[in-house]
Amino acid sequence: MVSATVGTGTALGAVLVSLLAAPAQAAAPAATGGADTERVAAAGALAAPDDAGLRKVLRTALTQGAPGAMARIDDNGTVHRLTEGVADRTTRRAISTKDRFRVGSVTKTFSAVVLLQLVDEGKLKLDRSVNSYLPGLLPDNGITVRHVLSHRSGLYDYTNDMFAQTVPGFEAVRNKVFGYRDLVKLSLKKPRTNAPGAAYAYSNTNFVVAGMLIEKLTGHPVATEYQNRIFEPLNLSETFYVHPGTAIPGRHANGYLTPDAAGAALVDATKQTVSWAQSAGAIISTAHDLDTFYSALIRGKLMSAAQLTQMRKWTTVNSTTSYGLGLRRRDLSCGVSVYGHTGTVQGYYTYAFTSKDGKRSLTALANTSNNTTVLNTMYATLESAFCGKPATKAAPRGSAPVERNENIAPGVARY
């Protein structure tokens, strides 16, 4: 079933600081070796969202194995809602843009926001050693907070071993509760991938360390800091951090994990602690709340202009993707850049991005994972949402770059 509605959206909730102008262009860090320019549309304005194109993307995801898929666009007061398929394979309830779901690595942006607020408060310095705040935690005093937040620490991603086999790995940790140090120790059993600052190498270990920094510097659990600093000020009433609880509260989309063996039955992965990720991936939210969050972030409502500039210092990942501090930038085929994060947790793929001015935001979800075909298909929601309709049938947009399941076990070649 497909549904689509367009209507008037609601305003953002209360904010932490007054609106601050985002920088026109963020400089690349030294590690990039040169300028890394953000792209803007030649005409200076975004084309209208392509709802028909979005419908096609969602329908295609279902043919590729997703039980359900949905997208919500908040476009400066106008809301586009599109859904396809089911939230629950047992009851056959249709998926809704109001459903809660596990956002996976989108959590990393929330963690980075808290740490950058602590920089604003004078409690943290980005270029100081992590060990100066967490003595003896890491084997190299040269690993800084900035390295951790930009995935340039060289810390090995323990999920490569944990989820080398997708379903057995998941079932082994589904109900397990880890301490942060347990996860860091798993990482340190393996050699580092590079010297501090030398290269981008995505690792969940980095944002486990980020969670430890939050708790050390504030004296509070990350749940308290997310709630007090982000959820409540932005009125994100559908956003939660329930670790180590296993249930998603209220109405939600179930998540279905695709086994490695072709043709094997999907595994309902909805109930889990997500303790293997915590501050790297355990937040629960909705499309509306994620649109609100990224819009507020890019509009400068969650930190000072100085720290937003730091967040948007980019390291090149590939020809279409750059990474800042807990923030991705995607350069689309129509000449615009969008800002947000992808999210993968067992049973869920999320894309949550906003425009350069924060006036148009998209959150798209497919309630499956470990299916790279679906992951690549859902990337096209960005093109439909921010580029609009292709100019002509004779000159279609370039094909989307191949997406990798980078957020979980990035070093495992599974597909």
Amino acid occupying residue 83:
T
DSSP 204-257: HHHHHHHHHHHHHHHSS-HHHHHIIIIITTTT-TT-B--TT--PPPSSB---EE
pLDDT exceeds 60 at position 7: no
Average pLDDT score over residue span 130-159: 98
Indicate whether 316 pLDDT > 50. Answer: yes
What Rg do the C-alpha atoms of the chain give, in angstroms? Answer: 20
Residues 342 and 63: their CA atoms lie apart, in Å, by 22
> What per-residue confidence (pLDDT) applies to 405?
66
pLDDT at 376 over 50: yes
Whole-Å CA distances, 38 to 24, 35, 319, 356: 9, 10, 12, 9
Higher pLDDT among residues 34 and 80, named by residue:
80
Is 111 an annotated catalytic residue?
no
Please name which of 293, 187, 277 lies closest in space to residue 241, comparing C-alpha atoms. Answer: 277
189-219: burial string, b at 16+ Cβ within 10 Å, e else: eeebbeebbeebbbbbbbbbbbbbbbbebbe
Q: What is the pLDDT of residues 259-274, one digit of tens each?
A: 999 999 999 999 999 9
Separation between Cα atoms, residue 415 and residue 409, nearest integer Å: 12
Of the candidates 313, 342, 25, 380, the one whose C-alpha atom is nearest the C-alpha of residue 202 is: 342
Which helix (H) or strand (E) covers residue 57, if one does?
A: helix 51-63
Look at strands 368-369 and 256-257 and give their pairing. Answer: parallel
Global pTM? 0.90
Q: Which two tokens stand for residue 62?
A: 């279902």
Per-residue confidence (pLDDT) for residue 401, from 0 to 100: 54
**What is the DSSP code string of 139-201?**
S-TT-BHHHHHTT-S----THHHHTSSHHHHHHHHTT----HHHHHHHHHTS--SSSTTS---
pLDDT band at 307 (very low <50, low <70, confident <90, very high): very high
CB 316 within 8 A of CB 32: yes
Instruction: Give the separation between CA 121 and CA 347, rounded to whole angstroms.
Output: 37
- pLDDT at position 232 over 50: yes
Quote the pLDDT of residue 390.
82
Q: Which of 3, 96, 105, 333 is catalytic?
A: 105
Residue of 152, 53, 74 whose CA lies nearest to 387: 53
Q: Is 277 exposed, middle or buried (0-12, 13-18, 19+ CB in 10 A)?
A: buried
Edge-to-edge strand ranges of the sheet holding 256-257: 267-268, 256-257, 368-369
Kindly state the percentage of the chain with pLDDT values over 70: 85
Higher pLDDT, 401 or 22: 401
Question: Of 189, 224, 196, 183, whose CA–CA distance to 131 is shortest?
Answer: 196
Over 90: is that where the pLDDT of 1 sits? Answer: no
Does residue 128 sit in helix, strand or coil?
coil
pLDDT tens profile 240-254 = 999 999 999 999 999
Q: What is the pLDDT of residues 14-48, one digit of tens each?
A: 333 332 223 232 333 334 333 345 655 444 589 99
Residue 75 pLDDT greater than 60, yes or no? yes
Give the pLDDT score at 39: 57
Phi, psi of 157 (to 5 degrees): -85, 110
- Please give the Cα distance from 402 to 152 (Å, whole number): 22
Of residues 19 and 143, the one with the higher pLDDT is: 143
What is residue 105's DSSP assignment?
A: G
The confidence score (pLDDT) of residue 409 equals 87
Name the band, by pLDDT with cuts 50, 70 and 90, for residue 367: very high
The residue-averaged pLDDT of 121-139 equals 98
Q: What is the mean pLDDT of residues 344-351?
A: 98
Mean per-residue pLDDT of the chain: 89
Q: Give the integer Cα–Cα distance in Å for 116 and 122.
A: 10
pLDDT at position 80 = 98
